[in-house]
């Protein structure tokens, strides 16, 4: 298994770079009011009516919509990206929307591996177009969890936190962003979001980027494979827009990309003890103190993976 590399700097501001490396995320101002309003209108052209629950544009079978969202989000974000980052390649923009629904939670996960993490870091700029509250699907993160251990990730690969999902729900820190503020996070940070129980849709733009020298690489596992290994696939820069398996048959062997063969992987398992050593012990939660969304999220994530990985 690989070791974590020294990260190649991508932030122009050295303090933000250091904070990002330490905690796995930082918060920055990103869109102004005009851009927020423009992106809302742009989204509404394609989606006069929202999909049910959690929906990302990368799930769409409509390639014109996927490509259109990608282009327009990148165009609008270009100045803020240039201001904040250096030596990067921006690979994809997408909408991530939660329409009001008790079924709109996103369970505990790390994002799928998209680059060779022995050298590079996959990064998301996740920016809501509305203020986030405890009721409309705020993003929660487990600070520093990007450095618990190196992993290969994908819907077909057992998650390393599979035994402690419901405990992680209680350690997550909500990031209450205002509309236009973005959280920039390492894709390997553990994160999740409760459902949107407000009356309005929660629309977010997500932009994936990485160091300019990195190439797309995804990982796949099947029980029939050689034991303790995953298969890697090289992908080109259009992967996020072209890959048909997001949101559909994401657990199947990739039909796009070039197999790079198998690499050893020991399928690590985070234990409750390790979690408590890092983050402290939490008090027992009695059933009457559990909010209903939390109970639903626990049920939703029990034994599940993020089976609709997008990026
Ligand atoms: O938009 C959300 O609520 C969750 C998004 C997420 O988990 C992701 O982009 O990986």
Across residues 151-155, what is the average pLDDT?
94
Distance 87 CA to ligand 1 centre (A): 25
The predicted-structure confidence for 208-259, as pLDDT tens digits, reads as follows 999 999 999 999 998 887 678 999 999 988 887 777 777 667 788 888 889 9
How far apart are alpha carbons 137 and 172 in whole angstroms? 13
The predicted-structure confidence for 178-202, as pLDDT tens digits, reads as follows 999 999 999 999 999 999 999 999 9
Tokens of 141: 């993160």
Torsional sign, CA 182, 187, 189, 190: positive
- End-to-end, the C-alpha distance of the chain in Å comes to 23
Q: Is the CB of 137 under 6 A from ligand 1?
A: yes
What is the number of the ligand 1 atom nearest to the C-alpha of 126? Answer: 9
pLDDT value of residue 57: 85
Across residues 268-289, what is the average pLDDT?
85
- What mean pLDDT value characterizes the chain? 90
Burial of 40 per CB tally in 10 Å (0-12, 13-18, 19+): middle
pLDDT value of residue 300: 60
Distance 224 CA to ligand 1 centre (A): 31
Residue 165 makes CB contacts below 8 A (sequence gap 6+) with 107, 108, 159, 301, 302
pLDDT value of residue 33: 98
Q: In which region does residue 79 sit, left (phi positive, over 0), alpha (psi from -120 to 50) or beta (all else)? A: alpha
Distance 142 CA to ligand 1 centre (A): 13
Beta bridge partners of residue 4, listed in sequence order = none
The pLDDT of residue 205 is above 60 = yes
- Walk me through the domains of the chain, giving residue ranges and CATH numbers: 14-301 (2.60.120.620)
The pLDDT of residue 309 is above 60 = no
Concatenating the DSSP letter of every residue in the chain gives -PPPPPPPP-BSSHHHHHHHHHHSEEEEE---HHHHHHHHHHHHHH-SSPPSSEEEGGG-S-HHHHHHHHHHHHHHHHHHHHHHB-SEEEEEEEEEEE-SBTT--EEEE-PPP-S-TTT---EEEEEESS---TTBT-EEE-TTGGGS------TTSPPTTTTSHHHHHHHPEEE-PPTTEEEEEETTS-EEE--B-SSS-EEEEEEEEEETT--EEEEE--TTSSTTEEEEEEE-TTHHHH-TTTTSSTTSPPSSSEEEEEEE-------HHHHHHHH-PPPPPPGGGS-HHHHHHHHHHTT---TT---
Q: Is the CB of 111 under 6 A from ligand 1?
A: yes
What is the number of the ligand 1 atom nearest to the C-alpha of 191? Answer: 7
Q: Is the CB of 309 under 6 A from ligand 1?
A: no
Residue nearest to atom 7 of ligand 1 (CA): 192
Q: Is the CB of 139 under 6 A from ligand 1?
A: yes
Distance 113 CA to ligand 1 centre (A): 15
Q: How confident is the model at residue 308 (pLDDT cuts 50, 70, 90)?
A: very low
Concatenating the DSSP letter of every residue in 220-239 gives E--TTSSTTEEEEEEE-TTH
The pLDDT of residue 276 is above 90 = yes
Q: Is the CB of 202 under 6 A from ligand 1?
A: no
């Amino acid at each position: 298994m690989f070791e974590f590399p020294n990260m190649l700097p991508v932030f122009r501001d050295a303090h933000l770079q250091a904070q990002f490396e330490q905690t796995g995320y930082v918060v920055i101002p990103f869109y102004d009011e005009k851009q927020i309003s423009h992106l809302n209108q742009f989204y509404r052209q394609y989606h006069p009516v929202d999909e049910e629950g959690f929906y990302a544009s990368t799930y769409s079978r409509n390639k014109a919509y996927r490509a259109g969202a990608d282009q327009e989000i990148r165009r609008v974000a270009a100045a803020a990206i240039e201001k904040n980052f250096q030596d990067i390649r921006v690979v994809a923009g997408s909408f991530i929307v939660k329409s009001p629904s008790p079924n709109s939670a996103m369970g505990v996960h790390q994002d799928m591996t998209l680059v060779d993490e022995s050298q590079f870091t996959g990064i998301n700029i996740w920016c809501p177009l509305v203020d986030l509250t405890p009721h409309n699907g705020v993003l929660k993160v487990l600070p520093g969890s990007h450095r618990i251990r190196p992993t290969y990730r994908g819907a077909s690969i057992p998650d390393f936190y599979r035994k402690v999902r419901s405990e992680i729900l209680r350690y997550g820190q909500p990031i209450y962003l205002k509309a236009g503020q973005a959280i920039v996070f390492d894709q390997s940070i553990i994160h999740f979001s409760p459902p949107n129980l407000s009356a309005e849709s929660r629309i977010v733009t997500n932009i994936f980027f990485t160091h300019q020298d990195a190439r797309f690489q995804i990982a796949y596992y099947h029980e029939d494979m050689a034991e303790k290994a995953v298969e890697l696939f090289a992908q080109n820069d259009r992967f996020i827009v072209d890959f048909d398996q997001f949101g559909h048959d994401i657990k199947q062997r990739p039909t796009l990309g070039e197999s790079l063969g198998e690499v050893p992987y020991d399928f690590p398992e985070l234990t409750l003890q390790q979690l408590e050593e890092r983050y402290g012990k939490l008090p027992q939660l009695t059933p009457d103190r559990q909010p209903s969304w939390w109970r639903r999220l626990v049920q939703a994530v029990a034994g599940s993976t993020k089976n609709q990985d997008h990026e």
